[in-house]
Structure 1
């Protein structure tokens, strides 16, 4: 089982994703209502950017806190820090 942890940025990430989720529901309504494709594409782009920003915030926070703590606690010698960095950097 993975260890539970939270950072101060997590609530902001959750809030951003909840807004994006609501926005997605609005986009579905736009499609069903026959709105112009350019308007729909613009709104999808906005949601996409919000999700990308949420992802970046989460990853950068992880790099700043979790990996930095591992290095400070001398866990880097085990290679765990490098492997975790490689794992999360795939999502950048």
Structure 2
């Protein structure tokens, strides 16, 4: 997602770290699929799924916190100009926390 309601490039510093984390989780998920195909123990699979789930949740949290940190100022500026749309976008993302 490179477009943003404010019209500037929407790539935060943490995005590289989030991409690396998600690529790791993607590889991990592929290995879990292989585990299932090979008939591994359900408890082992569940443990690995839990680890991937935690990694993805952390990536999501980092993304949202970073967005809030960087976009709060823009939202306040927009509100001072009487614009409501950035506030709505700001409220929308907090639903995913």
1:91 positional shift: 0.8
- Report the number of matched residues: 90
Aligned to 1:22: 27
The structure with more helix, counted as a fraction of residues: 1
Post-superposition Cα deviations, 1:25-54, rounded to whole Å, max 9, x if no partner, equal 000111111110000000000000100000
**TM value normalised by structure 2:** 0.84
Aligned to 1:79: 84
* Contact 2:18–2:62 (8 Å) recurs in 1: yes
In 2, distance between residues paired with 1:42 and 1:68? Answer: 40
* Contact 1:27–1:44 (8 Å) recurs in 2: yes
Q: CA RMSD in A?
A: 1.5
From 15, 22, 30, the equivalent of 1:10 is 15
1:19 positional shift: 0.3
- Structure 2 residue 33 is the aligned partner of structure 1 residue 32: no
* Contact 1:13–1:54 (8 Å) recurs in 2: yes
* Contact 1:67–1:81 (8 Å) recurs in 2: no
In the alignment, structure 1 segments of 5+ residues that lack a partner are: none
From 42, 49, 68, the equivalent of 1:44 is 49
**TM value normalised by structure 1:** 0.88
